[in-house]
């Protein structure tokens, strides 16, 4: 989609790189338009286009529901996934280099998918999540297989404090030999949050070291909350 490509071109990726490397996340405001948010929310109840529905409480993941899109992905989701990945791959490769991890991520999403498919990771991972009153998501990491990309995105489809209350996005950082740090975020409707999938580098007195990260959603007090999750690697199941 041309508008998605243009939006991505206007982003200052140097600032994004600095923010993600320094904090483990960055919020890009007003990435989606009002009609794009509505389109995604309306898509949720469409019985077609999904490969799997997960009721969170069945697996003790939380309270709510999410659906994985099937291939071919909706045009908007495909455009976001395909055009943002090449901007994030250099960040991921920088992290691998400074942490001295022997891994290089390819430049394009198509090449990353080829790596996933070679490891029997054939299932698409973009998803849309729905929470009602009392809904929440436990802290977790979206790995899905041996091949995983260390960054992902979530796009917010409702306005906090208007469409819902509570439901903050929570990130925890576990520094070695220290207590966990909690980061609580409340992005606005249309914002895109890019954050680390499972770890990030932190500079210490003796060089860089790795800190583990998890993410989740706090309990909703009222209303409904929808988000679009864009994960770049494919899944085993």
pLDDT-based confidence at 95, cuts 50/70/90?
Answer: very high
User: pTM score, two decimals?
Assistant: 0.96
Q: Which domains does the chain have, with CATH numbers?
A: 2-230 (2.60.120.620)
Establish whether the linkage from the previous residue to 72 is cis, with ω within 30° of 0: yes
pLDDT given at position 2: 81
* pLDDT 10s digits, 135-188: 999 999 999 999 999 999 999 999 999 999 999 999 999 977 778 899 999 999
Please determine, for residue 224, whether its predicted confidence score (pLDDT) is greater than 90. yes
pLDDT given at position 1: 75
Long-range contacts of 4-9 (CB under 8 A, 24+ apart): 4/76, 4/79, 4/80, 4/83, 5/79, 5/83, 7/31, 8/83, 8/84, 8/87
pLDDT-based confidence at 39, cuts 50/70/90?
Answer: very high
User: How much of the chain, in percent, has pLDDT values that exceed 90?
Assistant: 92
Give the residue-averaged pLDDT of 80-101: 97
Q: Where is average pLDDT lowest: 13-27, 85-99, 166-180?
A: 166-180
pLDDT given at position 77: 97
* pLDDT 10s digits, 131-145: 999 999 999 999 999
Give the residue-averaged pLDDT of 2-18: 92
Give the residue-averaged pLDDT of 22-45: 96
pLDDT given at position 110: 97
pLDDT given at position 178: 78
Mean pLDDT of the chain: 96
pLDDT-based confidence at 40, cuts 50/70/90?
Answer: very high
């Amino acid at each position: 989609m041309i508008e998605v490509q243009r939006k991505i071109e206007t982003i200052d990726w140097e600032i994004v790189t600095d923010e993600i490397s320094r904090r483990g996340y960055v919020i890009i405001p007003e990435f989606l338009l009002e009609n794009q948010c509505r389109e995604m929310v309306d898509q949720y109840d469409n019985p077609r286009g999904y490969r799997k529905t997960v009721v969170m409480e069945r697996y003790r993941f939380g309270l709510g529901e999410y659906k994985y899109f099937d291939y071919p992905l909706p045009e908007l989701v495909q455009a976001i996934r395909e055009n943002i990945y090449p901007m994030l791959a250099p960040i991921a490769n920088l992290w691998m280099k400074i942490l001295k991890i022997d891994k290089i991520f390819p430049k394009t999403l198509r090449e990353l998918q080829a790596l996933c498919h070679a490891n029997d990771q054939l299932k698409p991972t973009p998803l849309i999540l729905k929470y009602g009153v009392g809904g929440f998501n436990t802290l977790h990491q979206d790995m899905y297989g041996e091949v995983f990309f260390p960054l992902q995105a979530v796009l917010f489809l409702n306005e906090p404090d208007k469409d819902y209350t509570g439901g903050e996005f929570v990130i925890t950082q576990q520094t070695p030999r220290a207590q966990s740090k909690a980061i609580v975020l409340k992005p606005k409707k249309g914002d895109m949050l890019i954050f680390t999938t499972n770890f990030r580098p932190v500079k210490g007195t003796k060089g860089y070291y790795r800190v583990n990260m998890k993410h989740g959603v706090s309990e909703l007090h009222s209303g409904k909350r929808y988000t679009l999750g864009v994960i770049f690697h494919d899944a085993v199941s």
